Amino acid sequence: MSESQKYRGFDFIGDVHGCAKTLEALLEKLDYRKINGVYTHKHRQAIYVGDIVDRGPRIREALHIVRDMVEHGGARIVMGNHEYNALGYCTRARPGSAHTYLREHTPRHERLIRETLDQFANYGHEWNEFLEWFMTLPLLIDDQSFRVVHACWDHELISQFLEHHPDGLITEDFLHASTVRDSFAGHVMDRLLRGTDMKLPDGMSIRSSDGFVRTAFRTKFWKAEPETYGDVVFQPDALPDEVAERRLSERERRMLLFYGLEEPPLFVGHYWLQGAPRPIRPNIACLDYSAVKYGKLVAYRLEAGDRKLTADNFVWVDVMREAGGAAGR
Ligand SMILES: [Mn+2]
């Protein structure tokens, strides 16, 4: 009996980002119970899409909850870009490298990991153990009945990666190699954990709602026969009309990925969605609804064998701002 056949169903859980209180509320809502300090469900397994760390108020607690579940077999998890960032930030480059750390300690990188490092300031040993644990997180799960990756399923890169890493795990060498953006390891980490984008036409830029000026836009990896930029643009910002109507060149079309309609249900996180949770497509669901920005921490309940995703199988907890002394997140 394969591991998956032990369970009647699976609960896929979106980016936690240190919202441990909300995670506990969600697990309770999903009928997981604490047994000897570890959340467990008799018939179901939780599957985390990654990004447990950074930004939120209870990162250490969230990591303990999740790792305990994984170590007891009650959960699985794939690596998120924030766990990968933490590995890079905290790993010294090898002698002869142009850098001190694999991920440079720039103000921007420092800001992204600040809450994590602050909350572990008095728990250095624990943090090192969690870094070691991050190295044991696969980049993807390719189960018979579902697939999981943090941001993007790229068939070609995944099959090439699995040839040398059949368990889906990276090695120390792979981690070091991935700092070269244009290497195979760099492509794998960037594509699977951060997704796909496309450059805007020459000289064009767009200003996003958060004030950033962008020269590229995030693309869908599931659009069949796209013709225009507007057909493939994906969150967070819409393109101006004159850009959206622009036709994709043959070369651009060839660069786009396509996750087929007949393929197993795919679960991702990463994309800071808002609003009412629903599938992106009948076999793709994103579970990141911006919990740490006072959105929702979202789960999808998949019954074993289900191939078609529906909106009524989403379960979530709204993340409230702290009010009258009650702790939020
Ligand atoms: Mn995230």
How many residues are recorded in the chain?
Answer: 329
Is 69 found in the same domain as 157? yes
- Of 213, 236, 256, the position where a domain reaches its end is 256
Alpha-carbon torsion (168, 55, 267, 210), positive or negative:
negative
Distance 62 CA to ligand 1 centre (A): 14
For range 305-317, the mean pLDDT: 97
In this predicted structure, what is the pLDDT of residue 42?
95
- pLDDT value of position 320: 87
Question: Looking at residue 306, what is its pLDDT?
Answer: 95
User: What is the per-residue pLDDT across 90-146, written as a single tens digit (0 to 9) for each?
Assistant: 999 999 888 999 999 999 999 999 999 999 999 999 999 999 999 999 999 999 899
Q: Domain holding 7: CATH number?
A: 3.60.21.10
**Residue where a domain stops, chosen among 211, 232, 256:** 256
Query: What mean pLDDT value characterizes the chain?
Result: 94
pLDDT class of 4 with cuts at 50, 70, 90? low
pLDDT over 70 (residue 324): no
Find the 82 Cα to ligand 1 centroid distance in Å: 7
CA–CA distance, 73 with 5 (Å, rounded to integer): 13
Distance 250 CA to ligand 1 centre (A): 32
Tokens matching residue 268:
């991702």
| Distance from the alpha carbon of residue 129 to the mean position of ligand 1, in angstroms | 21
Averaged over 46-54, what is the pLDDT?
Answer: 98
Name the β-bridge partners of 199.
216
Query: Is 328 within the bounds of a domain?
Result: no
DSSP state of 209: T
Note whether 79 and 269 are within 8 A (CB): no
Tell which residue, 14, 18, 19, has the closest CA to residue 320: 19
Q: Residue 284 belongs to what domain range?
A: 3-194+260-318
Beta strands 296-303 and 288-289 are antiparallel
**Do 265 and 302 share a domain, yes or no?**
yes
**154 shares its domain with 246:** no
Regarding whether 98 and 63 lie in a shared domain, the answer is yes
Same domain flag for 265 and 130: yes
| Structural domains counted in the chain | 2
Residue 81 CA to ligand 1 center (angstroms) comes to: 7
Sign (positive/negative) of CA torsion 145, 151, 155, 158? negative
Cα dihedral value 152, 153, 157, 162, nearest 10: 120
C-alpha 248/C-alpha 226 separation (Å) is 8
Considering the entire predicted model, what is its pTM?
0.94
